[in-house]
Homo-oligomer: A and B are copies of this chain.
Amino acid sequence: MASTLEDVARLAGVSRSTVSRVVNDHPNVRSETRDRVRQAICNSGYQPHAVARSLATNRTHIIGIVIPEAVTTLFDDPFFPLLLRGATEACNMHDYHLMLSLFAASADQQEMYQHFLRNGYLDGVLVASAPLKDPVVPSLLRDHLPFISVGRHPDEQVHYVDVDNIGGARMAVEYLIRLGHRRIATITGPLDTMPGQDRLEGYRQTLEAHRVPAKEELIVEGDFTENSGRVGMQRLLSASPSAVFAASDVMAIGALKTLREVGLQVPQDVALVGFDDVPIASVVEPALTTVRQPIDRLGWMATEVLLSVIEDSLELEGETPTHRIILPTELVVRASCSSV
């Protein structure tokens, strides 16, 4: 059915090496021959067989992207599609393909990882928002499979790209302080994740910079869900903050509902800032002031870096420096904060 190098060679009256050279744009082939071969390729509708090529070159031009199911579950959040969009864009540019893997946090997760990561198809892997303790990173290091983490990672050897969570949180709290707030509370993300930690860190840094003592009763831990925003706000009530920085929009909306229930007005009684800038943020009443992150650029950048790491891993065996890239975030001012 499908024609092979051999067929084309016969058609053009040359050897298959020559055809291979033409296909791969090798310089050393007479232009007359080249034309003849090109013609034959056209006539036969030849398409190189990627699998065979991979076997010979030991390169597939496929990268994997693994995303823990948990992230996918936040369907209010376009994080996932935006990330993929950026990643595919970069892949298209470099003639790479993207293999997708979502994992349910189940017992056989570990086995799945292995199955996916060492399936022999992958030139490299993009690991998105893995929890800090996730076994996938050590596993990849052990296998010497080129990979990059989307999200900061403490390990010295791990390449990563991330958005500036600390800076974003800083901007948010900074903004509240500029509005005159001093009793600023925060509902944090899960503190076993990097974004959770970083957004809290930004909060702390800003208070410190302005010599506002960080009171522990103004800090409650959430887990990025709406419900954790609700209960977080409930627990915060007794500390009567004048402003709340929620580490995610979804939690901010939870907090908003709690505030409404107890008859407090946003922004008049309590100012509210979120993080992420999900679509709902602009729809909710009042529209939410929040921190926007360039997710698609994150996916794009991560892929670009991964591909360069893959190239490097072929060229020089020596250790290349670890790539660590932080993309800027942006404060989006809407209606959920007023000055004190």
Interface string of A39-73 (1 = CB under 8 A from B): 00000000111111011000010100000010010
Q: Which of B47, B119, B253 contacts A118 (CB 8 A)?
A: B47
Q: How far is the CB of A97 from chain B (nearest CB, A)?
A: 6
Among the stretches A82-90, A131-139, A149-157, the one at the interface with B is: A82-90
Cα–Cα, bound, A100→B118 (Å): 19
B283 and A253 contact, CB distance less than 8 A = yes
Cα–Cα, bound, A100→B81 (Å): 12
Q: Which of B51, B99, B102 contacts A55 (CB 8 A)?
A: B51
CB-nearest residue of chain B to A82 = B75
Q: Which of B47, B89, B120 contacts A49 (CB 8 A)?
A: B120
A285 beta carbon closer than 8 Å to chain B:
yes
Q: How far is the CB of A229 from chain B (nearest CB, A)?
A: 13
Q: How far is the CB of A266 from chain B (nearest CB, A)?
A: 15
Assign chain A's interface to a size class: 35 or more
B119 and A50 contact, CB distance less than 8 A = yes
Cα–Cα, bound, A295→B112 (Å): 24
A236 beta carbon closer than 8 Å to chain B:
no
Contacting residues, chain B, for A49 (C-beta < 8 A): 120
CB-nearest residue of chain B to A257 = B283
B75 and A88 contact, CB distance less than 8 A = no
CB-contacts of A10-42 with B (<8 A): none
Cα–Cα, bound, A75→B284 (Å): 16
A280 beta carbon closer than 8 Å to chain B:
yes
Interface string of A100-121 (1 = CB under 8 A from B): 1110100000001001101111
Q: How far is the CB of A333 from chain B (nearest CB, A)?
A: 21
A6 beta carbon closer than 8 Å to chain B:
no
Cα–Cα, bound, A75→B55 (Å): 39
Cα–Cα, bound, A171→B75 (Å): 25
Cα–Cα, bound, A279→B73 (Å): 12
A219 beta carbon closer than 8 Å to chain B:
no
CB-nearest residue of chain B to A283 = B280
Q: Which of B51, B102, B120, B283 contacts A84 (CB 8 A)?
A: B102
Q: How far is the CB of A105 from chain B (nearest CB, A)?
A: 13
Q: Which of B89, B100, B112 contacts A98 (CB 8 A)?
A: B100
Cα–Cα, bound, A104→B104 (Å): 30
Q: Which residues of A approach B to under 8 Å, CB–CB?
A: 47-52, 54-55, 60, 62, 69, 72, 75-76, 78, 80-82, 84-85, 88-89, 92, 95, 97-102, 104, 112, 115-116, 118-121, 253, 279-280, 283-285
Can you show 16 pairs from A to B with CB atoms below 8 A apart?
Answer: A47-B120, A49-B120, A51-B120, A55-B55, A60-B121, A62-B99, A72-B85, A75-B78, A75-B81, A76-B279, A80-B81, A85-B102, A88-B100, A97-B119, A98-B101, A285-B285
